[in-house]
Amino acid sequence: MTDTLLFDPRDERYKSPYGAVSAGTVVHFALRPERAQAFSRAVLTARFESRANELVRIFLPWSGRDGERDVFAGSLPTGDYVGLIFYSFRLEGLDGRTRTLGEYQLTVYDGCEQVPAWFGEGTCYQIFPDRFRRSRIPDPGGMVGGRSVHAAWQEEPEYRPDARGEVRNRDFFGGDLKGVLEQLPYLQSLGVETLYFNPIFEAAENHRYGTADYEHVDPMLGCDADFSALCRAAHARGMRVILDGVFNHTGFVSRYFNGDGFYPQPGAAQSRQSPYYPWFHFQHWPDRFDSWWGIYTLPAVNEGEDSYRDYIIRGEHSIVRRWLQAGADGWRLDVADELPDDFIRELHQAVRAADPNAVVIGEVWEDGSTKIAYGVRRRHILGGHCDGLMNYPFRNGLISFLLGADAACFRDAMETLRENYPPFAFASAMNFLGTHDTPRILTLLGVGSDCRENTKAWRADFRMDAGQRALALARLRLGALVLFAFPGAPTIYYGDEAGMEGFEDPFNRRTFPWGAEDKALTAWYAALGQARKSLLPLRRGDLRWLRAEGRVLAFSRTWEGETVIAAVNAGDAPEQLPLDGAFRDRMSGERFTDTVPLPPLTGRLLTGERCKSASGVV
């Protein structure tokens, strides 16, 4: 007798409603042991974690029979509680026998606020600003950081330590906002509806995660007016803009810390009377201070300091508000786990006050419902904090499947998220195959690992051979199809659609290969992006698994009676998938009835013969 026959939290016959629930919901439970087991009593024990692990025990009375099984059923009220509930069951027999099941997780969230749906519905495109497109070769003279600029766009980024033994990230290529503006037609051709920018504010390093001045666009990118102009142009094309908010730390080289004295106003490193001194924590002023992961170039801030919160969040023209007023439509919070929950909540309130339709997306690398950071269970997706999270579990699960893992492992990982996440968080997840923090997806799919056993110089020079690249491209087409068909925002890391290669930073941050793109791959992404933009089932539909076994993964999305099916065969043997009706493969144009063949390394995006799009029948 298996536990799933006794109780299955993903089956509404055993637990209703499915998954996470909003506060105030009464959750119904049922156990179904075999009658021959002669259990006479069932008890539910619920542990309310955020209420000092308070235990609540509820008797589940016998409520009848279901075939050869007894049914014990009862209900758990959640009241005004918000947090995680961990529950288990105990079955008791008249002869003293007992059986325990659990423990299971129930996420209870604050459902009072309406989360804007636009982010999760459309395609997002991540831009690393220095490397996407430049409209001119800039002059770095007078800019913060002692920069150098590569003369040729195609040169390799610098990865070797300098004379002081440091990798300083001061080599720039000069990508700018006007360059992005010039390429809005290209991005629109991909079906992109959201532009997510890595940091754009003045900073000494090319990645700009050590903010030097939150109040101004980095001059190499352009000026503040250029940003607003870009936002207006994007909005005119139906696109929105999300900015990277780096609020856990500033730059050592910044007007706030001013570690190198570049800025004329004294920073925390120059004077204890500086208005910025309370923002930082010194063990020994001025040379020993808290920093992000011990990296001295990124001094950590005290997010609880009132003057810092006033500056970033609270003021009428606070940083969070002023850039929304300048045209942004939301924020992605860097290292959200390292920001206090009350800081994120206050920031979220400020964002919604400035623009009720703006969103907050958090950087979290694990299941965001269970995340513990600094000994505290985080409230990222319990309502009023983050509207969605970066979905690294999606990336990890999909890459594992593409590289050989059973499709059931991907399905189970995603079902765990769907069960644990509030519906708004699952729908607004930022799904992706790669980011600026991971090796290029094409390289991973061709080589199979990050090759850290080799030297960094080897990784810098490495390029896939023809066989590796052909396999990688075939796998990437499958991965992209799943990405664009799955609930949550399909997010493209700039250049993945062009066939860029590379291992870790900075090899995953090379310049976009304008004029040398893999045009077949770009066309595949564009077709998927346009499908995501036009097919309502892909934007809003439910999720139903059709097959997740071995090397075949298939699921459907249905909205208002119309269905789209994503089916991929990542193996080297042909497969078939039965169909209920007639469908057309949007990618190849082929039509199928009753069954669809899946040759090796083939993906299909199947629409019903009369499936409606946002603009009519497709």
User: Which amino acids are annotated catalytic?
Assistant: 334, 363
* Residue reference for tokens 């923002």: 279
Query: Alpha carbon of 382 to those of 51, 244, 566: distances in Å?
Result: 15, 22, 30
* Residue reference for tokens 């609930």: 487
Burial of 581 (0-12, 13-18, 19+ CB in 10 A): exposed
Q: Do the Cβ atoms of 205 and 138 come closer than 8 Å?
A: no
Amino acid at 284: H
* Residue reference for tokens 């066309």: 523
Calpha distance 294→289 (Å, rounded): 9
Query: Alpha carbon of 62 to those of 59, 95, 98, 99, 597: distances in Å?
Result: 10, 17, 16, 16, 48
Calpha distance 509→435 (Å, rounded): 9
Calpha distance 300→16 (Å, rounded): 44
Number of other CB atoms surrounding residue 529 within 10 Å: 25
Calpha distance 37→333 (Å, rounded): 52
Q: What is the DSSP letter of 303?
A: T
State phi, psi for 42 to the nearest 5 degrees. Answer: -135, 140
Calpha distance 99→505 (Å, rounded): 51
Alpha helices (H) along 40-176? 118-121, 129-132
Calpha distance 210→254 (Å, rounded): 8
Number of other CB atoms surrounding residue 614 within 10 Å: 10
Region class of 478: left (phi > 0), else alpha (psi between -120 and 50), else beta = alpha
Number of other CB atoms surrounding residue 318 within 10 Å: 19
Q: Do the Cβ atoms of 606 and 581 come closer than 8 Å?
A: no
CA dihedral 358→364→369→374, nearest 10 degrees, is -120
**SS3 assignment, position 152:** coil
Calpha distance 272→195 (Å, rounded): 40
The pair of structure tokens assigned to 41 is: 């009593």
509 DSSP β-pair partners: none
